[in-house]
């Protein structure tokens, strides 16, 4: 659910950048807190719907060969397994990536067509777009190997792919790459996002100021107590 919501939040941000740069007049009308909240609720609701099969079909299984108990989907028929995997790959990767790539291509085309004066006026939009492109690139690098491995695994288990490739180690490595994306995103926001850097600095200064004030009050109380 976390990975599903993460990519669709990236979809929303990509659409926001697309509308802001390609259709700026429409962007002014729809860029309101209400629509932002509505979009977030929609993504979390969609993530919850797609996570329902996990809660319904999950079951603890004991692997005697590895001597461990693990939680997995209890899908008794091959058709159920195939439908589950195809749906997951389609809606958690293929569809959002197509939307994001479309928005990205249109954004790049628009930026190339604009004059230097216009670009200088909209430096904030440029920085935001650069951040989105960096996050998108990181997402593709981290998640493409995972989904490619998943597709190969589905083709093997359904007998469509007639080969004996051991995907266990590759699956583990690609899973690590996928989870590393959650670690990489905050780093990108710090390195590329100037607004994020500014807000983080303000938050740190506020925390430091509050801490200093609390320490001063404590010192005053201790001094008064001694007197």
Model confidence pLDDT, tens digit, residues 65-95: 767 776 777 766 677 777 878 888 888 888 9
**Cα radius of gyration rounded to whole Å, the chain:** 24
Does the pLDDT at position 124 exceed 60? no
Q: Which two tokens stand for residue 112?
A: 């190339």
* pTM, 2 dp: 0.69
Range 53-63 average pLDDT? 75
Q: Which two tokens stand for residue 56?
A: 């319904």
Does the pLDDT at position 192 exceed 70? no
Share of the chain above pLDDT 70, in %: 70
Of 89, 100, 86, residue with least CA distance to 8: 100
Average pLDDT, the chain: 75
- pLDDT confidence of residue 55: 78
Does the pLDDT at position 32 exceed 70? yes
Q: Give the H or E element holding residue 13.
A: helix 2-22
- pLDDT confidence of residue 121: 47
Question: What distance in Å separates the CA atoms of residue 187 and residue 206, rounded to the nearest whole number?
Answer: 22
Note the Cα 83 to chain centre separation in Å: 24
Q: Which two tokens stand for residue 10?
A: 């990236």
Task: List helix spans (H) across 23-122.
Answer: 24-30, 33-57, 78-89, 95-113, 116-121
3-class DSSP assignment, residue 63: strand
Which residue would you say has higher pLDDT here, 125 or 203?
Answer: 203
Name the band, by pLDDT with cuts 50, 70 and 90, for residue 42.
very high
Range 109-124 average pLDDT? 61
What's 209's DSSP letter? H
Q: Which two tokens stand for residue 9?
A: 């939040």
Give the CATH fold of the 2-196 domain: Rhopdopsin 7-helix transmembrane proteins (1.20.1070)
Does the pLDDT at position 216 exceed 70? no
Q: What angle do CA 169, 175, 180 make, to 5 degrees?
A: 130
Say if CB 17 and CB 106 are below 8 A apart. no
Q: Where are the domains of the chain?
A: 2-196
Of 3, 1, 5, residue with least CA distance to 142: 3
Name the band, by pLDDT with cuts 50, 70 and 90, for residue 106.
confident
Q: What angle do CA 141, 189, 15 make, to 5 degrees?
A: 70
Range 113-140 average pLDDT? 67
Does the pLDDT at position 220 exceed 60? no
């Amino acid at each position: 659910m976390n990975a599903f919501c993460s990519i669709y939040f990236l979809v929303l941000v990509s659409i926001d950048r697309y509308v802001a740069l390609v259709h700026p007049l429409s962007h002014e009308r729809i860029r309101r807190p209400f629509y932002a909240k509505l979009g977030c609720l929609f993504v979390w609701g969609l993530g919850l719907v797609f996570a329902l099969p996990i809660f319904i079909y999950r079951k603890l299984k004991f692997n005697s060969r590895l001597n461990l108990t693990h939680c997995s989907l209890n899908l008794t028929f091959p058709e159920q397994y195939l439908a589950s995997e195809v749906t997951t790959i389609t809606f958690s990767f293929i569809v959002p990536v197509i939307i994001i790539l479309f928005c990205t291509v249109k954004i790049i085309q628009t930026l190339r067509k604009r004059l230097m004066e216009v670009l200088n006026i909209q430096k904030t939009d440029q920085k935001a777009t650069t951040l989105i492109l960096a996050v998108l690139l990181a997402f593709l690098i981290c998640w493409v190997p995972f989904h490619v491995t998943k597709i190969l695994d589905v083709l093997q288990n359904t007998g469509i792919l007639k080969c004996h490739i051991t995907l266990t180690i590759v699956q583990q490595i690609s899973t690590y790459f996928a989870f590393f994306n959650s670690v990489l995103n905050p780093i990108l926001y710090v390195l590329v996002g100037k607004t994020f850097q500014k807000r983080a600095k303000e938050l740190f200064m506020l925390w430091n100021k509050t801490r200093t004030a609390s320490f001063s009050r404590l010192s005053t109380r201790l001094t008064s107590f001694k007197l």
